[in-house]
């Protein structure tokens, strides 16, 4: 984490993978919230790792997946230098069979050299997810991401139930904001089940991370910790 100088702003990297747009929508809202909170934000997507649909026979899913690829094409792809740059790292990925989607895991593995030189220590981190079903593995997905943060020596700042927005009916996951997309990815109506309350919650989670990171940076400036 960089220490706070008189003019330096807190730097937030939002790194995500999204197949059919739900995570993309949440990540975009997080980036807007970070900027609104006075931070500098980098919105970065992890690219798809297959050239063709995972399941071409699921035509609606495949169409939605292609539509989302088009919608995300102008978002820069994530590099490990984005993690190095950031004071705050917010990772997002859909749950797939109760685990994070593989492209984001691949990206995480590339952080090995940065972690080896302790380049991720003391950064403020948390994560968010989207699943098809409310009990389809949101906590498992979030906690697998948070396990990575333990290994990196990051400071995990979850949303908890520290704001009323977390008690809205479509929210409530204290480990990290989570949305429920339903069973279908619907072409032309991408991510329509990401609710306004989900968007407000990810904005809150991001704001909370920025505030805590900014306070920590000022504190670290007075100690030998960086
Ligand atoms: C291969 C695969 C596995 C999935 N596994 C789960 C699962 O275990 N639980 C669940 O609730 N949803 C599961 N889903 C649904 C996605 O988590 C859900 O559609 C999510 O909202 C997608 O986010 P995205 O639009 O950002 O890609 C799976 C989807 C795919 C393609």
Each residue's pLDDT tens digit, 77-111 = 999 999 999 999 999 999 999 999 999 999 999 99
Average pLDDT, the chain: 95
Phi, psi of 15 (to 5 degrees): -115, 125
pLDDT of the residue at 7: 56
Matching CATH number, 11-220, of 3.40.50.10540, 3.40.50.10860, 3.40.50.360, 3.40.1280.10 = 3.40.50.360
Q: For residues 79 and 150, what is the distance between their CA atoms, to the nearest angstrom?
A: 21
Q: For residues 18 and 51, what is the distance between their CA atoms, to the nearest angstrom?
A: 15
Instruction: Name the E strands within the chain.
Output: 11-16, 40-45, 88-96, 99-100, 124-131, 155-156, 178-180
Whether the CB of 18 sits within 6 Å of ligand 1: yes
Enclosing H/E stretch for 207? helix 196-220
Measure 102 CA to ligand 1 centroid, in angstroms. Answer: 12
The answer to whether residue 213 scores a pLDDT higher than 60 is yes
The domain ranges of the chain are: 11-220
Whether the CB of 20 sits within 6 Å of ligand 1: yes
**What does R_g of the chain's alpha carbons equal in angstroms?**
17
Structure pTM?
A: 0.96
Residue nearest to atom 25 of ligand 1 (CA): 20
CA angle 180, 183, 184 (to 5 degrees): 110
For ligand 1, what atom is nearest to the CA of residue 17? 26
Contact (Cβ atoms closer than 8 angstroms) between residue 95 and residue 105: no
């Amino acid at each position: 984490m960089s220490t706070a100088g008189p003019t330096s702003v807190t730097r937030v990297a939002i790194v995500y993978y999204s197949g059919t747009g739900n995570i993309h929508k949440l990540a975009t809202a997080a980036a807007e919230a970070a900027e609104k909170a006075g931070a500098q934000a980098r919105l970065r997507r992890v690219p798809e790792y297959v050239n063709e649909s995972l399941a071409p026979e699921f035509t609606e899913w495949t169409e939605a997946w292609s539509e989302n690829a088009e919608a995300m094409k102008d978002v820069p792809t994530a590099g490990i230098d984005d993690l190095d740059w950031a004071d705050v790292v917010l990772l997002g990925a859909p749950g797939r069979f109760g685990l994070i989607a593989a492209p984001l895991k691949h990206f995480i593995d590339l952080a090995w050299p940065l972690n080896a030189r302790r380049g991720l220590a003391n950064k403020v981190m948390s994560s968010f997810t989207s699943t098809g079903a409310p009990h389809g593995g949101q906590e498992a997905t979030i906690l697998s991401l948070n396990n990575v943060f333990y290994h990196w020596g990051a400071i995990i700042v979850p949303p908890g139930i520290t704001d009323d927005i977390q008690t809205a009916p479509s929210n409530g996951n204290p480990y990290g904001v989570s949305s429920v997309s339903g069973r279908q990815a619907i072409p032309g109506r991408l991510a329509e089940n990401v609710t306004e309350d989900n968007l407000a919650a990810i904005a809150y989670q991001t704001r909370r991370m920025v505030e805590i990171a900014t306070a920590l940076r000022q504190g670290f400036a007075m100690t030998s910790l960086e």
